Amino acid sequence: MYLTPEEEKLMNGHGGPTYQKAIEILAALGDIYGADRLIPIKSTQIAGVSYKTIGDAGLEWISDLKGKVVVPSILNPAGMDMECWEEMGINRDFAQKQQEIIKAYEALGVRTECSCTPYNIYDDLADFGDHVAWSESSAISYANSFIGARTNREGGPSALSAALVGKTPNYGFHLDENRHPVILIEVEPQLSDSDYGALGYIAGEMIGDKVPIFDLNSSPTKDELKSLGAAMAASGSVALYHVRGITPEAGKYELPGEKITIQEKQIKEVYKSGEPDLIAFGCPHSSSDELEKLAQLLEGKKVKKEVWICTSRAIKNRHPGLIRRIEKSGAKVFCDTCMVVSPASEKFKCMMVNSGKALKYAPNLCGVKSILASSEDCIKAACR
């Protein structure tokens, strides 16, 4: 892979060991995937934040870095609400380690809002055609698909390296030839709410990492598309999808010859019965519209089970009245974290979610049985 004279200097250690390690990581990725060069990026979103997932080794690696990021950079969810961790049942030792991780990132100039939906916090992170380096699977899907920006599935170290250098290797979804759909997915039923998570759960398992284009009989909201992409990224490895008539690149390419059809009975089969002891929303983080819907569903009700609603702190701070309406019911609104990256979820036996992503991840990452239900049915279960 070609390196500019400035990049060669970093490779030779002229910027110090942190920048040398960063350019080495990026160059190695570029060589592995056949990139011709490094390209400038507009922003990064960095995974590897929860102490549950990175442990002491990850904390030590981040703490040893000395430098500053050169593009806007934001963190993925942490392992706890940074203010209300005791309410979540997090122990003090975990909390201390988690705080150290956040401080280490902060020392590097990373914005320490911890969210898998950074596009709901800042407007300056990605626009159509921008090259970015994002880590979290649902955020990658949203950036590539709904925004029309360009990012590969970055690991935490490569995203942080890109943040420090301001560049990423030019391969994969940064290139036009890799963004065209290779399989058409026709969806027979009309969908709403958690059906999009169910659809993504099914589609991801069927197509793996292929780029699909959907032909839908319904008009999804921005949040429903977020849910679709998140579930496909979790059950498969889909990082880019198109929806005819909706996503910005859908009309750019010819329809592929390969086709599959999703029927209503397949969607219904994803829903299972069960008796949850935790009802959890916000995987990916709840938007203001999703919080408003939950507030309406909870109006005049009192929850009888543990209910968590995860969102970004920025969204919570923008809508104090909305949060009060939700919490009046006894439901808890947590920030900075989510149910699948926090050890607090592990004390429960069965988690009910309205998210296809959480449906997939909760058993694998938390050891908790998961069941999918609509938002309405989740609230009904919480109140009975």
Tens digit of pLDDT at every position of the chain (384 positions): 999 999 999 999 999 999 999 999 999 999 999 999 999 999 999 999 999 999 999 999 999 999 999 999 999 999 999 999 999 999 999 999 999 999 999 999 999 999 999 999 999 899 999 999 999 999 999 999 999 999 999 999 999 999 999 999 999 999 999 999 999 999 999 999 999 999 999 999 999 999 999 999 999 999 999 999 999 999 999 999 999 999 999 999 999 999 999 999 999 999 998 999 999 999 999 999 999 999 999 999 999 999 999 999 999 999 999 999 999 999 999 999 999 999 999 999 999 999 999 999 999 999 999 999 999 999 999 999
By DSSP bridging, strand 38-40 and strand 44-46 are unpaired
| pLDDT for 33 | 97
Angle subtended at Cα 294 by Cα 289 and Cα 297, rounded to the nearest 5 degrees: 130
| pLDDT for 333 | 98
Read off the tokens for 348.
Answer: 């429960």
Alpha carbon distance 320, 331 (integer Å): 15
Alpha carbon distance 264, 179 (integer Å): 29
Spell out a b/e string for 304-336, using b for 16 or more CB atoms within 10 Å of the CB, else e: ebbbbbbbbbbbbeebeebbebbeebbbbbbbb
Residues with Cβ within 8 Å of 14's Cβ and at least 6 positions away in sequence, in order, are none
Architecture of domain 5-175: 2-Layer Sandwich (3.30)
The residues pairing with 350 across neighbouring beta strands, listed in sequence order, are 369
The residues pairing with 213 across neighbouring beta strands, listed in sequence order, are 184, 242
Short-list 292, 285, 187, 202, CA closest to 243: 187
Q: Do the Cβ atoms of 260 and 183 come closer than 8 Å?
A: yes
Q: Does domain 180-269 have CATH number 3.40.1060.10?
A: yes
DSSP 8-class letter at 256: P
Domain boundaries, the chain: 5-175, 180-269, 278-383
Q: Classify burial at 339, counting beta carbons within 10 Å of its beta carbon; exposed 0-12, middle 13-18, buried 19 or more.
A: buried
Alpha carbon distance 284, 84 (integer Å): 20
Same fold, 5-175 and 278-383: yes
Short-list 183, 196, 203, CA closest to 355: 196
| pLDDT for 29 | 98
Alpha carbon distance 173, 72 (integer Å): 20
Q: Do the Cβ atoms of 331 and 301 come closer than 8 Å?
A: no
By DSSP bridging, strand 38-40 and strand 167-169 are antiparallel
CATH match for 278-383 among 3.40.50.720, 3.30.70.1290, 3.30.565.10, 3.30.499.10 = 3.30.499.10
C-alpha dist (Å) from residue 146 to 130, 142, 242, 325, 344: 13, 5, 8, 30, 32
C-alpha dist (Å) from residue 326 to 86, 136, 291, 296, 320: 20, 27, 8, 8, 10
Alpha carbon distance 167, 70 (integer Å): 9
DSSP 8-class letter at 78: B
